[in-house]
């Protein structure tokens, strides 16, 4: 039996065809659509800074959202490119898993977007306790620079106890 030489679809030089490039662009466009539609479906999500609640009532059961609104007013390296930042919650006096659900990830701001909401779920309980705080750190801007050359932006949220005096 004779061996037949096969060539890969993409060679080591990444000389791809137009169809392969267009396929990648379709995936990219779908990801943008998915991201933007998920953001639009957040219940009670703020759309401007004045709507952000710095203090969120804990509640007695279940979960509800505390929001941070990332408004990027730094410098974009290329206005027609995606800007991404990493984010993660950090315990203050509030404890992840007990008082709120920790989140971390990468947030993409697409061309034409300069803000997006980051939700954090607050866990309700019936325990009398002092008000507690947690932080949301935003780092590692790719495709832009934070104002003043900052390397980290931090938001603080207070979970207000509604179960009686501590």
CA distance 95 to 104: 15
Q: Where are the domains of the chain?
A: 18-160
| Stated pTM of the model | 0.75
* CATH assignment of 18-160, among 3.10.129.10, 3.30.465.10, 1.10.10.10, 2.60.40.2030: 2.60.40.2030
Is the confidence at residue 11, as pLDDT, over 80? no
Residue in 117, 130, 128, 7 with CA at minimum distance from that of residue 60: 128
Average pLDDT over residues 135-152: 94
Contacts of 146 (CB under 8 A, 6+ apart): 74, 152, 153
């Amino acid at each position: 039996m004779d061996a037949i030489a096969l060539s890969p679809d993409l060679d080591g030089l990444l000389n791809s065809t137009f169809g392969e490039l267009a396929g990648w662009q379709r995936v990219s466009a779908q990801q943008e659509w998915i991201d933007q539609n998920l953001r639009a479906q957040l219940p009670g999500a703020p759309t401007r800074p004045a709507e952000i609640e710095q203090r969120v009532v804990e509640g007695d059961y279940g979960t509800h959202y505390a929001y941070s609104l990332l408004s990027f007013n730094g410098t974009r390296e290329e206005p027609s490119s995606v800007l991404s930042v990493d984010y993660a919650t950090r315990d203050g006096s509030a404890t992840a898993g007990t008082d709120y659900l920790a989140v971390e990830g990468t947030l993409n701001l697409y061309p034409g977007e300069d803000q997006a909401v980051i939700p954090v779920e607050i866990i309700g309980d019936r325990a009398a306790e002092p008000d507690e705080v947690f932080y949301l750190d935003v780092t590692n801007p790719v495709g832009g620079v934070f104002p003043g050359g900052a390397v980290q932006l931090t938001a603080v949220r207070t979970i207000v106890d509604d179960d009686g005096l501590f």
